[in-house]
Homo-oligomer: A and B are copies of this chain.
Amino acid sequence: MTYRAPVNEIMLSMVHNGGFDQALKSGLYPDMDLDQLRAILEEAGKFATDVLAPLNQIGDTNPVKLGAAGVETAPGWSDAYSKFVEGGWSTVSGSPNHGGMGLPEIVASAISEMWNAANLAFGLCPLLSIGAIHALEAHGSQALQGQYLEKLISGRWTGTMNLTEPNAGSDLSPMRTRAEPVGDGTYKITGQKIYITYGDHDMAENIVHLVLARLPDAPAGTRGISLFLVPKFLVNADGSLGARNDVFCAALEHKLGIHASPTCTMVFGDKGGAIGYLIGEENKGLACMFTMMNSARLGVGIQGVGLAERATQQALAYAADRRQGKAAGDTAPLSAIIHHPDVQRMLLTMQSQTRVARALCLMTAASIDIANLSPDAAARKLASDRAGLLTPIAKAYSTDIANEVSSLNVQVHGGMGFIEGTGAAQHMRDARILAIYEGTNGIQAIDLVQRKLPMNGGQPVKHEIALARAMLATLPANSAYGQTAVRLSAALDAMEQATHYLLSAPTQAALAGASDYLRLCGLALGGAALAAQAVGDNSAQSIGLCRFFAERLATAAPGLALSVISGAEAVREVA
């Protein structure tokens, strides 16, 4: 079972959730139109299907290896990456000043969904590069930008994020990696980082590590962390590659999933010191890193969408093929299991939740575009706040859904789902990292209730609820929708009540309800997003999925609000 890019579904969500149409009309994307968008998406989908998808299982069964010359990727991976670069796919979101296409974030997100649906372990590599590109574009000196950006954007070099150490994960304050000024403007970096994705590999000529480290006189905690660029190979003034830098992969993790993506222990300076270059100001590294993190958080949400889409496609194909039992009204001696109500429940859950996850991510991406591109400063500020609010929801909700949907795919397959060759198990294993990396989903929930909710006295979240209510107001009085309007209104009421409570709740109470609140936001805003799709294309499919989501899944919203509002005291010290 291969992957087919759902171009129509993606465009539906871009237009009716991401406001793509309106943005075109307003001139936000001057170089785009819908025909061109479709052409790009179809071309990307073809590459995903033809080149990346066939390598997904090969990567799973041929984990990366650490050889004498460094990390070796699975058969065919280096070739595929070369094709990726030759096809120009690495340049999608980079600045045109350095050879990028500079496509809108929403388009880049739509394309990224396809890479990750086809091959999650592969999709991680460009995802990390994009984070490094964003950080360099925002904080790098002219000299560093000149030397590194074009190669990174072209994809000939790849990027990494070096944050985690054994004692510094969700909390970076105990970080110990050190940077000593050499005197010539460069620094010697020494220390060890763990869980470094694509920290080493054989697919690109050079690897550009963005590394958090402490200067000798740095204050303790997170205010004493600086960001450095540490290339695998030093770069000569003419842009050619120089000496091997003192940064090496010392070990690879043996992981539950994404076996083809190297997760490296990186050792800096074991042979005298790795040469690094400061990015941004001293001791302001965390702020620079957050530029990467925010971009990467949406990127991981998109990975969740891709994985969920892939698992849903596999489940649908299997359920249409596998025959067991006899469904009501079926004349065949054995019915395809797609006709059994409980299997339909699973498939509709997968389809509707995947749509919701996609909508949340594309809404976030669209806000980033307005924040970046609008000529109106007030609109930019509004959109920037909106992106801030939606990012943790997009990341956490979408990756929770990826886990749930990939597990449902296993369940639809029955015993076959537990057999590795089927591929369903791989999707489930691969998905499991998504709720953990780039800030665990618990961290996202804390970010939501502690930093994003209180922005401007809660204006962004109130505005989001108002937008969602406006969408529901457009639902027609049509019996095909059943109780959709009632259920989705109840979900928004629940979100509004929980929001009201959290905006003045004590910190501990807010933290106790954070994860349930994030889920509630996903259900309430996601339901409205599916209503917008249904009203938008008025198809039986969109109406049916919106109705299923409203009547069967959004029904959980009032209970979640109750948990948030009156369940804080139940969270206590654990014995």
- Say yes or no: B414 contacts A440, CB within 8 Å: yes
Q: A538-560 interface mask toward B, CB cutoff 8 Å, 1 = contact, 0 = none?
A: 00110010011011110111111
Given contacts A342-B511, A343-B442, A344-B574, contact A256 B415 (CB under 8 A): no
- Say yes or no: B560 contacts A547, CB within 8 Å: no
Q: A248-286 interface mask toward B, CB cutoff 8 Å, 1 = contact, 0 = none?
A: 000001111100000000000000000000000000000
Picked from B167, B255, B341, the residue with its CB within 8 Å of the CB of A418 is B255
> Which B residues touch A540, using CB under 8 A?
575
Tell me the chain A residues, 433-465 only, with Cβ under 8 Å from chain B: 433, 435-437, 440-442, 445-446
Count residues on chain A whose CB falls below 8 Å from chain B CBs.
Answer: 94
> Which B residues touch A432, using CB under 8 A?
407, 410, 418, 425, 428
- Say yes or no: B574 contacts A256, CB within 8 Å: no
> Which B residues touch A326, using CB under 8 A?
171
Whether A68 sits at the interface, judged by CB under 8 Å, is no
> Which B residues touch A182, using CB under 8 A?
none
Whether A328 sits at the interface, judged by CB under 8 Å, is yes
A182 CB to closest chain B CB (Å) equals 32
Q: What is the bound-complex CA distance between A492 and B548, given in angstroms?
A: 25
- Say yes or no: A420 contacts B255, CB within 8 Å: yes
A11 CB to closest chain B CB (Å) equals 18
Closest residue of B by beta carbon distance from A494: B559
- Say yes or no: B433 contacts A418, CB within 8 Å: yes
Whether A334 sits at the interface, judged by CB under 8 Å, is yes
Given contacts A328-B507, A341-B571, A571-B341, contact A414 B256 (CB under 8 A): no
> Which B residues touch A574, using CB under 8 A?
316, 319, 338, 344, 347-348, 351
Closest residue of B by beta carbon distance from A345: B571
Q: A317-349 interface mask toward B, CB cutoff 8 Å, 1 = contact, 0 = none?
A: 001000111101000001000111111111110
Q: What is the bound-complex CA distance between A437 and B541, given in angstroms?
A: 33
Q: What is the bound-complex CA distance between A174 and B421, given in angstroms?
A: 24
22 contacts between A and B (CB under 8 A): A164-B415, A170-B324, A171-B325, A171-B334, A253-B419, A255-B419, A256-B410, A256-B420, A340-B511, A342-B445, A342-B512, A342-B514, A344-B572, A344-B574, A347-B574, A348-B572, A351-B574, A411-B435, A548-B570, A551-B567, A552-B567, A558-B559
